[in-house]
Amino acid sequence: MIYKNLYQFGYGRPRRLFIAGLHGSEWRDTSYILLFLSTPDTGSSYTVPVISRGRYISTLDHQYYESDGKIVIELIKEIKPDIYIELHSYKKESFESLVSKDRLSKKGVPSYVELANGVLIGSVSPYLIEYFPDKSLHLSFEIEKDNTSSSRELLEILDAVNNSTADEFLIYLSEKYPSAVRKAVEGYILYHQLYNQKNKR
């Protein structure tokens, strides 16, 4: 597949796919982070700094994947990533809704969990899950807008991704942010159990 904003570094597995700038003006906060990402010691990395600079449609809305999000699905199907990372940004006033305990019942995805310096970890849209290979790791990260500490923290995390398998990355996260990652993993497992039950009907 040829996509003008897709960059490949290295070859082979594990294959990692990093996507930023998915909607609205988020590219202003997240795209440049991928430009500073280290090259992988093993395996390959695919980065897409910008998907859209257009209107904001939530990635939790199926309409997103009928417009700008089509390319996200095509990239996942083509690359078949072992690790998929999606980057988003949020305004400070949106923090409470992102980490709300009611997020799963209201939005269909588990609440984000803060790791450090405003960096949040969470799950990707349910509209993407069916396209991932079995046993792949797919995560969403949010950084706080206009917070350089948040951006630096995320870049450090992404550099760790870029030199790890999925299991190694989870170990890294668990050692660095033990309590937060336990909470995030619980939400991730419950989310996927509910998704599987719903799609077996």
**CATH, residue 163:** 3.40.630
Neighbours of 196 (CB within 10 A): 10
Q: Is residue 1 part of a domain?
A: no
**Domain residues for 12?**
7-199
Average pLDDT over residues 55-69: 94
Digit-coded pLDDT (tens) for 127-174: 999 999 988 999 999 999 999 999 999 999 999 999 999 999 999 999
Q: Looking at the domain assignment, is residue 191 inside a domain?
A: yes
Distance CA 151, CA 174 (A): 20
Mean pLDDT rounded to a whole number for the chain: 94
Contact 91, 28 (CB under 8 A): no
Q: Phi and psi of 16, rounded to 5°?
A: -120, 135
Q: 12, 184, 25: which is closest to 104 by C-alpha?
A: 184
- Is 112 a member of any domain? yes
CA distances to 3, 52, 101, 140, 188 from 168, in Å: 29, 31, 28, 18, 17
| Domain assignment of residue 2, yes or no | no
The tally of domains found in the chain comes to: 1
Examine residue 103 and state whether it is found in any structural domain, yes or no: yes
- Local confidence band at 200 (pLDDT 50, 70, 90 cut-offs): low
Does some domain include residue 46? yes
In the prediction, which pLDDT does 1 show? Answer: 54
Q: Give percent of the chain above pLDDT 90.
A: 85
Decide: pTM greater than 0.75. yes
